[in-house]
Structure formats: structure tokens, C-alpha cells
Amino acid sequence: MKIHDYAEYVSAGHPDRLADAVANAIVDRAQKPLAQTHEPNRSLVGIEVAIHDSTVFIDGRVALHENQNAKNAAVLDFKDITINAFQSAGYNHTWGPDPESLEIIVRVCEETLSPEEASIRPYSDDQNIVIGHACARPETNFVPPAHWLAHYLGHAVDQFRIKNPDPFGPDFKILVDVTDDEGEILWRKLVLSIQHARGVTMEEQHRALLPVLTSALEAAESQGVRGAGSSFSPSRLYLNGAGDFVVGGPSGDNGLSGKKLVVDHYGPSVPIGGGALSGKDVWKVDRCGALRSRQLAKRLVVAGHDEARVVLGWAPGEDIPSLRDAYVCTDRDGAWGEVPISNLPPPEWFSIESIVHDLELTQVSWKEIPRVGTFIDPHFPWERA
């Protein structure tokens, strides 16, 4: 059966991704392991970031453990966090805005986490539904091929741009449009819109970037993604189709954290359920629930099913989601069937505390996750099937 598959990748220099990087770096700082204790950090983080030109606006709430506030007053140095995020994405005096010249406006409620609030962190503070997905494509780490290819190509372009920072800027997007024909990729269109220096001609852009894309696709095919390289031709590439892309990043568009939900999950062919992942601590079910549901979906596919979808739903105050549904289908008939709840892990496996502990979520560096892809790297703890 032929399936039309499509997905996007958004670079670290895109304004939305810059906002995500700032928000997630705040999570990383707030959730550092606590000194002289083996208890997981229960700090609360709910942050949103907006960016336009050289102005960055940060709002929300952060509540840290008392010893964090007492021993490290600079744990939440918002200026340092923001400058670092811009620099890591590739912004400097050449590709503006210059990180050292940013106007950073902070409207964050900074508090000390009370023992009472710390004790209820393993209980959901909101209602939420999350959806986990996996498909029988081990060569693309069990995610839809277009979604995997978009990230794979994005990483290749990003590495090329880092080595060649003069002609190409930090802001770019990739759109993959393919047909999946019984496991073989047939290219329809590959769209790349990438910021470039003034005076870099279209011919120069093609000469520089086409080999990068072609080489990456050939490498993907050698890793088992059939047709990824052999079905691609230069005529399928749409490079900067709107013309010159000289003004990019926050100077060309505004950015807001949490806007790239579909890119952060599985691409547009799979429902994503609940809210954004960025800017939230790991005790919030938007984040930890999405990771556990993915882990279970992947387990079901590895056990022999062609595709799996897991739906978890929390009501406010629940530690274990009252909604725990899983569905699988096989390639033989394409029909979906519900997995009996008796065949799912025990209820406590789904508890917030169990998820945070088992998946070591307070030890993850969240700032880099959007750049890598939440479900792309098989080495992440939630990818252990």
C-alpha cells in the first residue's frame, strides 16, 4: 500500500526554536540534581518565552528547593541562559541579533518550593491527554519515515552550516514530502528554506547544499531506509523557492516557545494529544506522560505489531492516569484492535513518580532535545523498549 508521508524540521536558529531553547535551559538549571541527597529534584517550572528582533520576553513561574536558592543564587541567571541559547544556535556579530546586545525582559514569579508543594509534585496539577506512537520501522527508530528523514537531513544541514558559517545563517526549515511504497521511499518534493548572506546567488546555494542533501540521503539508504537516496534527484529539490532569504531569525519573524508541537512529536500524520513539551519540568504530565506513552507504544511494536498507539489521560490530582488505552494493528489486515488492560503494565508503572524515576528525567539535558528530536535518538531513556 502506498502512503503519502510528509514532515518538517525546524533549525535551532528559527525564532520558535530559540524560544524553546531558552525555556528548556531554564528547566535544566532548575532541575539540577540536589546536593547530598538521592531524591529527585522536584522543582516546578512553567515558563514561556517570546522573541522578536533583539528583545526576549520571559514569563511564568519557577519554584526551587530551598537549598538551591540558598546555595546558588545564580542558578536562574536569565541573561546568561538567553545569551548562551542564542550563541549555541549560531547567532553572533555577523548573524544578528548579537547575543550580547539583547534586551531581556523577565516577568517570572521566582519562589521557594514549599515542603507541601514538593510533596504533591507526583500528582497531576492539570488535566491532560497524551498520545504515544510507534511503527514497525526500526531503520527510522520506529517513527514515520518522513519525520525521521526531516530530522536526519536537518542535522546534516546544521553540521554543514556550522562548518560554513559565512554563506548560510542559523535559520532554516526542511519539508519532506514522500510516498512510502511498501517500505520504499519515493521522493515527491524536498523543500529547504535557509537563511543566506547577501549576494550568495541561487546557483551558489545549489552547488553548496545539493551535495550535502544527496550525501545524507545516500547515507540514510545505506542504513536501511530504502529509496531515500536512489529515488531522489535534483529536480525534487525546492531551495529558497520564495527568493532571497537574507533577513532571518528573530529579525525576520517573531518566536514563541511551545509552537512546534507536531515537529516535537511524530509529524503531522500522527495525533499528538496534549500540550507543548518545552518550558515544563518533568513532573508535568504533558512531558513525562508523552514519554511514557511513547515507550509503551514502542514496546508493543517490538513485540510484533505493525503499529501502536497509546493514550494516557490524567485528571487533576491523579498520580496514575485513569485513562490507559492502547491500540495496535497488523499489516496483514490494517484493522486496529484494543489491547486488553490486563496485558498492559501494572497501574503503578504509569505513575508520575515511576516515570520520572525509571526514565531518569531529572538528569536529561532538555535544551538540546528539540534540536535532536524527541523520539529520533534511540539512546534516550524513554526509547528503551
Q: Compute the mean pLDDT over every residue in the chain, rounded to the nearest whole number.
A: 95
Residue 273 pLDDT class (50, 70, 90 cuts):
confident
Domain match, 209 and 228 both: yes
Query: In this structure, what is the dihedral angle of CA atoms 368, 371, 372, 374, given to the nearest 10 degrees?
Result: 80
**What pLDDT score does 337 carry?**
95
Percent of the chain with pLDDT over 90: 92
β-partners of residue 194 are 172
At 49 the pLDDT is 98
Q: What is the sign of the dihedral through the CA atoms of 85, 169, 95 and 257?
A: negative
pLDDT at 159: 97
Q: How confident is the model at residue 39 (pLDDT cuts 50, 70, 90)?
A: confident
Judgement on whether residues 6 and 21 belong to the same structural domain of the protein: no
Structural domain span for residue 243: 2-10+144-250
Does the residue 272 lie in any domain?
yes
Domain with residue 357: its CATH number is 3.30.300.10
Q: Average pLDDT, stretch 266-283? A: 93
Supply the pLDDT for residue 50: 98
Are 303 and 202 contained in the same domain?
no
Asked which of 186, 215, 250 is the last residue of a domain, the reply is 250
Task: Answer yes or no: is 312 within a domain.
Answer: yes
Q: What is the pLDDT of residue 83?
A: 98
**pLDDT given at position 35:** 67
If asked whether residues 149 and 202 sit together in one domain, one would say yes
Q: What is the structure's pLDDT at 263? A: 97
Amino acid (1-letter code) at residue 333: D
- Here the cell at position 58 is 520571559
pLDDT for res 189: 98
In a domain, 263, yes or no: no
Per-residue pLDDT for 209 more than 60?
yes
Over residues 103-141, the pLDDT tens digits come to 999 999 999 999 999 999 999 999 999 999 999 999 999
Residue 75 lies in a domain: yes
Same domain flag for 332 and 232 = no
* pLDDT, tens only, 216-260: 999 999 999 999 999 999 999 999 999 999 999 999 999 999 999
Give 324-361 pLDDT, tens digit per residue.
999 999 866 678 999 999 999 999 999 999 999 999 99
Mean of pLDDT values over 82-101: 97
Residue 231: helix, strand or coil by DSSP?
coil
Judge contact between 84 and 24, C-beta under 8 A: no
Provide the pLDDT confidence category of residue 73 given band limits of 50, 70 and 90: low
Q: Is residue 236 situated within a structural domain?
A: yes
| 40 and 106 both lie in a single domain | yes
Give bridge partners of residue 179 from the DSSP assignment: 4, 186
Interval 83-98 mean pLDDT: 97
Total domain count, the chain: 3
Is residue 70 predicted with pLDDT exceeding 60?
no
Nearest to 174 by CA among 260, 92, 94: 260
8 A C-beta contact, residue 26 and residue 80: no
Rounded to 5°, the CA angle 246-251-255 comes to 120
- End residue of a domain, out of 224, 250, 276: 250
**Is residue 261 situated within a structural domain?**
no
Say if residue 173 is in the same domain as residue 245: yes
Looking at the fold, whether 340 and 309 belong to one and the same domain comes out as yes
The reported pTM is 0.96
What is the C-alpha separation between 298 and 305, in angstroms, rounded? Answer: 10
Say yes or no to pLDDT of 69 above 60: no
* Least confident residue range of 15-19, 71-75, 109-113, 231-235: 71-75
Residues 300, 345: one domain? yes
How far CA 112 is from CA of 62, 279, 372, in Å, comes to 8, 18, 32
User: φ and ψ at 154, to 5 degrees?
Assistant: -60, -40
Position 274 scores a pLDDT of 76
Give Cβ neighbours of residue 252 (< 8 Å, ≥ 6 apart).
171, 195
88 domain-assigned: yes
Residue 200 in any domain: the answer is yes
Pair (64, 157) in one structural domain:
no
